[in-house]
């Protein structure tokens, strides 16, 4: 069965069906041909062509960059309820210590590749990704984006909510990768999301103790997890995709990029339209 933009979280993820994810309404209402854009530096674009892959970034990376420090977090009502529960059992401090230790670490296990949904260019996106050098925009659409991904990747819209009042409980980090605070709503983001299952299975070295908290156990840790613990891990990795299905057209942010980009696309065996960004045009009055 072909995958659709209105997938549930958990489809094809280790055979486990989790809750319906945030944003499922907009997924249902979206057309398969709606445009999606990925604005990227030139070097990253060349990597897409040469490796026939997209770079997926660990969710924890956005806590370090100039981004949303609430990435992967729960709305306020969730920790409020959890703290109230553990306080009744005189375990509030233990709960807080565990969340402080493991909360950010869990974000390392979810990786995202981000797209912007819009029918036309966005000046703000050019400004954000073309600050140091002229950028390139890969143009796709929802249907192409989904079709080009491997089966273990889920594609869906980000839902922008009020973290102070959002009532829903999104237990899994994976589901929360599709939820951000409403002040980022102008991003109109669509994400491709995956879990680092090897890291989850062999990395944590913990189990649930009799009091409900995680306790250490002795295991042979996955090398990637050791790298996370000592701070030497990469911020993500490349995931092979069907780039001939993914790329509908390319928009360049500089006239100097037109010829090189067309040659690079031809070398990769792709025949897609390439055009200059609308930002470059001059008025004729």
Please list the pLDDT of the chain residue by residue as tens digits (285 residues).
233 333 333 333 333 333 344 445 566 677 888 999 999 988 899 999 999 999 999 888 887 656 678 888 877 777 888 888 888 888 888 888 877 777 777 788 889 999 999 999 998 888 887 666 789 999 999 999 999 999 889 898 888 888 888 766 555 777 888 888 888 888 889 999 998 866 665 554 444 455 545 455 444 544 544 444 444 457 888 999 999 999 999 999 989 999 999 999 999 999 999 999 998 888 889
Flag whether 61 is in a domain. yes
* SS3 call for 20: coil
For residue 109, what are its two tokens?
Answer: 């296990």
Domain of residue 30: give its range.
24-279
Please report whether residue 4 resides in a domain. Answer: no
User: Is residue 70 included in any domain, yes or no?
Assistant: yes
pLDDT the model gives residue 119: 93
In a domain, 12, yes or no: no
In this prediction, residue 131 carries a pLDDT of 64
State the Cα–Cα distance between residues 12 and 153, nearest whole angstrom: 8
| Within-domain flag for 233 | yes
Phi first, then psi: give them for residue 282, nearest 5 degrees. Answer: -120, 145
Phi/psi of residue 239, each to 5°? Answer: -125, 120
Nearest alpha-carbon partner for 155 in 1, 273, 12: 12
Cα–Cα dist 223/229, whole Å:
10
Do the domain assignments include residue 130?
yes
Q: Is the distance from CB of 191 to CB of 178 less than 8 angstroms?
A: yes
- Which residues have C-beta within 8 Å of that of residue 9, sequence separation ≥ 6? 18, 19, 20, 21, 154, 156, 172, 174, 175, 178
Report yes or no on 10 lying in a domain.
no
**For the chain, what is the domain count?**
1
149 is a domain residue: yes
């Amino acid at each position: 069965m072909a995958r659709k933009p209105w997938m549930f979280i958990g489809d094809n993820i280790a055979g486990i069906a989790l809750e319906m994810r945030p944003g499922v309404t907009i997924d249902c209402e979206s057309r398969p041909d709606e445009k999606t854009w990925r604005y990227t530096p030139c070097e990253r674009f060349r990597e897409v062509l040469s490796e026939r892959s997209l770079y997926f970034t660990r969710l924890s990376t956005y806590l370090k960059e100039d981004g949303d420090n609430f990435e992967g977090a729960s709305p306020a009502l969730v920790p409020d309820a959890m703290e109230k529960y553990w306080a009744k059992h005189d375990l509030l401090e233990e709960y807080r210590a565990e969340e402080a230790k493991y909360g950010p670490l869990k974000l390392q296990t979810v990786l995202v590749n981000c797209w912007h949904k819009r029918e036309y260019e966005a000046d703000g996106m050019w400004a954000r990704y073309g600050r140091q050098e002229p950028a390139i925009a890969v143009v796709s659409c929802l249907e192409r984006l989904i079709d080009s991904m491997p089966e273990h990747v889920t594609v869906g819209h980000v839902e922008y909510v009020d973290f102070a009042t959002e009532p829903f409980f999104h237990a899994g980090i994976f589901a929360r990768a599709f939820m951000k605070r409403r002040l980022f709503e102008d991003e109109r983001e669509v994400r491709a999301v995956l879990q680092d299952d090897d890291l989850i299975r062999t990395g944590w070295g913990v189990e649930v103790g009799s009091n409900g908290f995680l306790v250490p156990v002795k295991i042979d840790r996955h090398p990637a997890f050791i790298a996370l613990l000592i701070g030497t891990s990469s911020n993500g990795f490349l995931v092979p995709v069907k780039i001939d299905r993914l790329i509908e057209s390319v928009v360049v942010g500089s006239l100097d990029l037109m010829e090189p980009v067309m040659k690079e696309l031809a070398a990769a065996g792709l025949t897609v339209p390439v055009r200059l960004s609308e930002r470059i045009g001059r008025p004729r009055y």
